[in-house]
């Protein structure tokens, strides 16, 4: 039920008859970790994401889970798709993904298409999707079962690069990315105010995921007036995809600038300008060597902008004072979560991708609905 003082509906018709469903939270709720959830409905079992980490090597515990009938992927980041090595133990189910995400999956999988925005189906169940504002080919998913299930995956309404399609269909249960918890309030504009002086001074190394905030930070740097942008091979490839096969993931006003960056960006060969390279935590890719080369020099400035797992190069360099952490928003802030919940009117909200310590604050902020991190939710 909903608080009438908020002017929200307290009742709604079930979407699929009187069926009931069960959502099992395998991993990704109560602690930062790989995404993995299972929806059970009408004798079918649909897994939502199958990630790895953080930290690297951490996999969902699927022992004893048994076969699933389908795996649905929200986007292509490692903490959502990195566990695909376990598919055989799950019965080798078909994998549902958008074309952009499917392109980078291991070969040999039985891949079924999902729209990047629109209506599709999974095992005969209607699924509505929308772009998530977080990554190329990334989507949120609404399953038309038992009053509706909304799974946001990772999402952001603030991105200056990736388009976000608001979710509006009513849902009995909403499994929502709450990575920033209940207290964080800084806007993307606030993030840039902190980062701009370092970008202006240069040289600056930004370790980033190429298929996420990397191109977005490059766009921000360009719009700030810096054209001396240098990238590694992964970033160069991501930029090429964004101006071709992945263009549908972009905001309407971002295409021309991304094309300009894709043409003008040069390889990283020395410490100069604004450099963007992966991986984001320095454990692999071009940044692994770059951070080793520059760990004991005064330049370039090194700024990490996303989550860092303990005992990674990012964690060690920040603790030593050689690098800084300045967050660049790629997940929703609490006001964004509240607005989403008010739009879809769930009876139950499950906060994902944050520690259990955030539950009291989130429950207070969303007191007009039931907020839980219980391992099994029936609806």
Tell me which residue range forms the domain holding 214: 188-325
Q: Which residues, in sequence order, are CB contacts of 216 under 8 Å at separation 6+?
A: 159, 160, 161, 162, 328, 330
Exposure string over 225-252, b if 16+ CB within 10 A, otherwise e: ebeebbbbebbbebbebbbeebeebbbe
Q: How far apart are CA 74 and CA 347, in angstroms?
A: 23
Residue 11 banded pLDDT, cuts 50, 70, 90: very low
Q: How far apart are CA 327 and CA 306, in angstroms?
A: 6
Closest CA to 154 of 173, 137, 172: 137
Q: How far is CA 187 from CA 128, 274, 327, in A?
A: 29, 22, 10
303 and 369 part of one domain: no
Q: How far is CA 353 from CA 34, 47, 85, 131, 359, in A?
A: 8, 17, 22, 19, 11
243 and 167 part of one domain: no
Report pTM. Answer: 0.94
HSE (CB half, 13 Å, CA atoms) of 10? Answer: 8
274 and 374 part of one domain: no
24 and 170 part of one domain: yes
Counted domains in the chain: 2
Model confidence pLDDT, tens digit, residues 156-183: 999 999 999 999 999 999 999 999 999 9
Model confidence pLDDT, tens digit, residues 44-89: 999 999 999 998 999 999 999 999 999 999 999 999 999 999 999 9
State yes or no: pLDDT of 6 exceeds 70: no
Q: Which CATH number covers residue 50?
A: 3.60.15.10
Strands 266-267 and 301-304: unpaired
- Domain-ending residue, one of 289, 305, 325: 325
Q: Which residues, in sequence order, are CB contacts of 223 under 8 Å at separation 6+?
A: 160, 257
295 and 155 part of one domain: no
172 and 53 part of one domain: yes
Model confidence pLDDT, tens digit, residues 335-375: 999 999 999 999 999 999 999 999 999 999 999 999 999 99
198 and 257 part of one domain: yes
Q: Which CATH number covers residue 289?
A: 3.40.50.10890
- Domain-ending residue, one of 325, 354, 369: 325
158 and 293 part of one domain: no
In the block, tokens 């071009």 appear at 286
Q: 106: which DSSP letter? A: P
Q: How far is CA 256 from CA 34, 137, 158, 275, in A?
A: 35, 19, 19, 21
DSSP string, 198-235: HHHH--EEEE--TTTHHHHHHHHHHHTT---EEE-HHH
Q: How far apart are CA 149 and CA 141, in angstroms?
A: 8
133 and 264 part of one domain: no
Residue 250 banded pLDDT, cuts 50, 70, 90: very high
Query: From start to end of 100-159, where are the E strands?
Result: 111-113, 118-122, 125-131, 139-143, 149-151
Closest CA to 280 of 235, 331, 240, 219: 235
Model confidence pLDDT, tens digit, residues 187-200: 999 999 999 999 99
Model confidence pLDDT, tens digit, residues 264-288: 999 999 999 999 999 999 999 999 9
- Domain-ending residue, one of 309, 325, 341: 325
202 and 264 part of one domain: yes
8 and 147 part of one domain: yes
Is residue 276 within 8 A of residue 230, CB to CB? The reply is yes
- For the CA atoms of the chain, what is the radius of gyration? 21
Q: How far apart are CA 364 and CA 337, in angstroms?
A: 13
Q: How far apart are CA 349 and CA 347, in angstroms?
A: 7
Number of residues in the chain:
379
Closest CA to 39 of 22, 26, 60, 25: 22
291 and 346 part of one domain: no
Residue 19 banded pLDDT, cuts 50, 70, 90: confident
For residue 250, the cross-strand partners are 162
């Amino acid at each position: 039920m909903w608080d009438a003082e908020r002017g929200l509906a307290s009742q709604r018709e079930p979407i699929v008859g009187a069926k009931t469903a069960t959502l099992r939270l395998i991993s990704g709720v109560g602690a930062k970790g790989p995404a993995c959830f299972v929806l059970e409905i009408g004798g079918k079992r649909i897994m939502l994401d199958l990630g790895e980490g953080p930290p690297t090597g951490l996999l969902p515990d699927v022992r004893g889970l048994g076969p699933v009938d389908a795996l649905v992927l929200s986007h292509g980041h490692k903490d959502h798709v990195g566990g695909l090595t376990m598919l055989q133990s799950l019965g080798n189910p078909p994998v549902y993904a958008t074309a952009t995400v499917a392109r980078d999956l291991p070969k040999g999988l039985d891949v079924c298409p999902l729209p990047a925005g629109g209506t599709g189906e999974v095992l005969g169940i209607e699924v509505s999707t929308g772009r998530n504002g977080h990554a190329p080919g990334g989507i949120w998913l609404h399953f038309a079962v038992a009053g509706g299930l909304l799974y946001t995956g990772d999402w952001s309404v603030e991105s200056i690069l990736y388009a976000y399609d608001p979710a509006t269909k009513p849902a009995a249960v909403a499994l929502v990315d709450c990575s920033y918890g209940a207290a964080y309030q800084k806007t993307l504009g606030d993030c840039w105010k902190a980062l701009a002086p370092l970008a202006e001074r240069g040289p600056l190394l930004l370790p980033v995921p190429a298929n996420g905030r990397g191109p977005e930070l490059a766009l921000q740097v360009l719009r700030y007036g810096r054209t001396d942008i240098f990238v590694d091979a992964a970033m160069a490839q991501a930029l090429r995809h964004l101006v071709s096969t992945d263009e549908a993931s972009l905001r309407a006003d971002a295409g021309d600038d991304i094309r300009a960056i894709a043409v003008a960006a040069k390889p990283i060969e020395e410490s100069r300008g604004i450099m963007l390279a992966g991986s984001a935590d320095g454990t692999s890719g071009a940044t692994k060597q770059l951070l080793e080369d520059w760990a004991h020099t005064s330049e370039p400035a090194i700024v990490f902008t996303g989550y860092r797992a303990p005992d990674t190069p990012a964690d060690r360099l920040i603790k030593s004072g050689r690098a800084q952490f300045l967050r660049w928003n790629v997940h929703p802030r609490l006001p964004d979560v509240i607005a989403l919940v008010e739009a879809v009117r769930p009876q139950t909200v499950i906060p994902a991708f944050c520690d259990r310590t955030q539950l009291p604050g989130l429950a207070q902020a969303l007191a007009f609905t039931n907020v839980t991190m219980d391992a099994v939710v029936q609806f």
